[in-house]
Structure 1
Amino acid sequence: MTDGRHEHQEAAVDGQRKDPRPPRGFWFGLIVAIVKPFMLVFTKCTFTGRENMPRSGGVVYVPNHISHFDPVVLGYFIWECRRIPRFLGKASLFKLPVLGRIITSAGQIPVYRDSTQAADAFRDAVAAVERGECVGVYPEGTITRDPAMWPMTGKTGAARIALMTGCPVVPIANWGAQEVIKSYTGRGVRIRLLPRKTLLVRAGKPVDLSAFQGKPITNSLLHQATEVIMAEVAATLGELRGETPPKELYDLRKARAADDGEETA
């Protein structure tokens, strides 16, 4: 749609859009009722690659992370793929008075970092995939600090879930959400809804992890698989931006270690 409505331009998806939507329940229905009108009014979206998202069965999707706003954008994209998104999100969000009740009841999965409950999110994610759900994992773990906003190196959770369950991993790139909410600018979080921002989302083909399947799941294997996953996320973002991603992704841990070294020198 154009003229202030969202664009879904792929001819290959036209037939798929006739597929019935999955049962969404009251709480997820409430989220849709809030988010969709908001997106139609304040954004212009172009969604591509939706044919790469399996219409049924357990799947992990792995997006790049550029803004506090992109979970909203990605959730809307997954809904337009005729799937219900189940995000792994910071536990602090689930403690908020109203939002916490909604996202908990809508089946989202809290992540308790640096606590004895940290493994619970992983178990819940595996269980959700085994039930045939569509689970979103931010492999970077935080908003990118790469100066050019390319994806950073990833953590191994998505690879572990995929290799344990045998589910497909779909790389997803998004661009434009950083213009709605700019984070880590040195001046706090800035929100700009007007003028209406153009948001781009693209799903790539499922990542080929066949070289890692059927082998003992070691840390080395997980890191290798994660490198393959992150390369596909970066390549999908490169297609979306019309640019070539860097050969080596930004490593936040190394950058922080270097900064600490400079401070103590």
Structure 2
Amino acid sequence: MRWLVRVLRPWCMLFTKRDWRGAEHFPNGGFVLATNHVSHTDPLLLSHYLVDHGVPPRFLAKASVFKVPLGGRLLAACGQIPVYRDTADAGKALSAALDSIGAGVVVVIYPEGTLTRDPGLWPMAGRTGAARVAFLTGCPVVPVAQWGPQAILPPYGKRPRLLPRRTIHVHAGPPVDLEDLRGRTIDTDVLAEATDRILDAITAQLAAIRGQTPPSVRHDPRAASVADGQDDGRVA
């Protein structure tokens, strides 16, 4: 990932301004970095932030992304982790994430599992992958909010808007307090509670960046997709 960021860093410096905060909250060793997802550009911009702070990441990403001719090869070459949902290979992503944490690597997980579908671009209801990795490894979960990438490329947009230069806000908060949940049986209730805390922490960081109050209830694409009879398209 370092070499890819070095290649793309001039583009990032040319077309963006940076409001980066919170790297002092990064613990030593491996940890889960949980973040919101507002644009297809935010993994690159988040990588820029992390690599510049000496923390090269491994991302969990949809397996379908690895099938994109050039992008997929770059992801594989950088050691990123494909997530195969609802297949016999579904457990491979979890195993790779656990191994990475054990090796002292930072693993980036999007609890929402896909680009947000909230009308106001707030974090949606989440999946439990970040919490599960945290409990199985005992590692911290650092919440990070991103804002600004959506101005370059809106969610589900196809044409980037590079000018005027956009400010990319990346704010990390202190690790999420999960201590009272550790040591308990990792069941549905524990995972749901931990996931809510992680999303609450991300949302609080984002609210501070935006200077706005988030919705009192998170948008839940699963409820909408069940009503429509569709898959919600999420990763973990």
- TM-score of Structure 1 vs Structure 2, range by shorter chain: over 0.9
1:170 paired residue among 136, 142, 158: 142
Q: Specify the alignment match of 1:198 in structure 2.
A: 167
| Structure 2 Cα separation of the partners of residues 100 and 258 of structure 1 | 33
Aligned residues of 1:53 and 1:81 also touching (Cα < 8 A): no
Q: Mean Cα displacement is larger for which, 87-96 or 139-148?
A: 87-96
Higher relative contact order (CA 8 A, sep 6+): 2
**1:239 partnered with 2:208:** yes
Letter of the 2:189 counterpart:
S
Q: Which residue of 2 aligns with 1:257?
A: 226
TM-score under structure 2 length normalisation = 0.92
Question: What SS is found at the alignment partner of 1:102?
Answer: helix
| 1:148 aligns with one of 90, 102, 120 | 120
Paired position in structure 1 for 2:188:
219
RMSD of aligned Cα (Å): 1.6
Alignment length (residue pairs): 230
Tell me how far 1:203 sits from its aligned partner: 0.3
Structure 2 distance, partners of 1:142, 1:234, is 16
Structure 2's unaligned 5+ residue stretches are 231-236
User: Where do 1:65-214 residues align within 5 Å?
Assistant: 65-184=37-156, 188-214=157-183
* Structure 1 stretches of 4+ moved >3 Å: 257-261
- Quote the Cα distance in structure 2 between the aligned partners of 1:256 and 1:94: 25
Residue number in structure 1 paired with 2:6: 33
**Larger Rg, first or second structure (1 or 2):** 1
Q: Is the 8 A contact 1:183 1:190 kept in 2?
A: no
Alignment counterpart, residue 53 of structure 1, candidates 7, 26, 32? 26
Q: Tell me the equivalent position of 1:5.
A: none
> How far 1:259 moved relative to its partner?
4.6
- Whether contact under 8 Å (2:2, 2:56) holds in the other structure is no
Q: CA deviation at 1:124?
A: 0.5
